[in-house]
Amino acid sequence: MNLQCFKVTIQDQWALLEMARPEKLNVIDEGMLLELETILKGFREQKIKAVVITGQGKAFAAGADVAAMAAMDCKQAEQFSSLGNRVFQGIEDHPAIFIAAVNGYALGGGCELALACDLRLASEKASFGQPEINLGIIPGFGGTQRLPRIVGAAKAKEWIFTGQRFSAQEALEAGLVSRVLEPEQLLPEAQKLAEEVAKKSGPILALAKQAVSGSGMGVTPAHGQQEATLFAKCLATEDGPEGLKAFVEKRQPVFNDR
């Protein structure tokens, strides 16, 4: 497989999946999403039981591609959001257990990628956030659906409505991550967890994952489509395009509530 955005290392029946664009803080664009979708299909065919996903460099993933979104119309925005939702839904529906090893910034789409995983471990240096509101948009890759299911509606609303970043310790206290580790311990502990999971029966792991999702913790494609529709409506306002343009131009947005 000729990969441009990821590095994949197979270890027995588990895999290490690294986002490999550190110079861009692993920002998620259309090409990265399509490549991830292909990788997920390959993991199914190879019967991989567990996947550790992390980011190279100082970021897990610092968000979605704002410059690309700033050039989108409503239809293109809905297609982009639908693609992100579809790919991240592919993680949630995948028979493998996905472990996010969050090593740095997990913002916007990066936070949503971590949310789509089954387990999340964080470095002490990790920071999380859904800052989309500051750009005049809303989370578009499942954040409005998964975050409240994981941390509860009150905390999710606070984080989404304010767009503030929160620390690894705050993420632990909210139940977003299960462990906070020293930076040098993060990847070894995540890999150790993947090795332990990979000792189990693959079909039984898949059934256990399906059962937990069926308990009300999971997200469905319908949830994602609702979010994509609302995400696209942001681009039909005056404030949405202004927020995105302001980010690209490195200035404060001027919102006129229109």
pLDDT one-digit tens code per residue, 157-181: 999 999 999 999 999 999 999 999 9
Question: Which domains, from first to last, does the chain contain?
Answer: 1-184+201-258 (3.90.226.10)
184 is catalytic: no
At position 176, the amino acid (one-letter code) is L
Rounded mean pLDDT of the chain? Answer: 93
112 is catalytic: yes
pLDDT one-digit tens code per residue, 219-246: 777 777 888 888 888 888 888 888 888 8
Is the Cβ–Cβ distance between 230 and 138 less than 8 Å?
yes
Among the listed residues 18, 112, 227, 242, the single catalytic one is 112
| 64 CB-near residues (< 8 Å, 6+ apart) | 27, 28, 29, 80, 84, 108, 109, 140, 141
The model carries a pTM of: 0.93
Please state, in angstroms and as integers, the Cα–Cα distance from residue 7 to each residue in 17, 20, 52, 56, 105, following that order: 6, 6, 12, 9, 19
Among the listed residues 18, 132, 170, 227, the single catalytic one is 132
Instruction: Tell me what percent of the residues of the chain surpass a pLDDT of 70.
Output: 98
> Is residue 42's pLDDT more than 70?
yes
Is the Cβ–Cβ distance between 87 and 51 less than 8 Å?
no
Mean of the pLDDT values across residues 135-139? 93
> Is residue 217's pLDDT more than 70?
no
pLDDT one-digit tens code per residue, 61-120: 999 988 998 898 999 999 999 999 999 999 999 999 999 999 999 999 999 999 999 999
Mean of the pLDDT values across residues 187-208? 95
Is the Cβ–Cβ distance between 170 and 252 less than 8 Å?
no
Tracing tokens 């705050």 back to the chain, one arrives at 170
Q: What gap in Å lies between CA 163 and CA 207, rounded to an integer?
A: 35
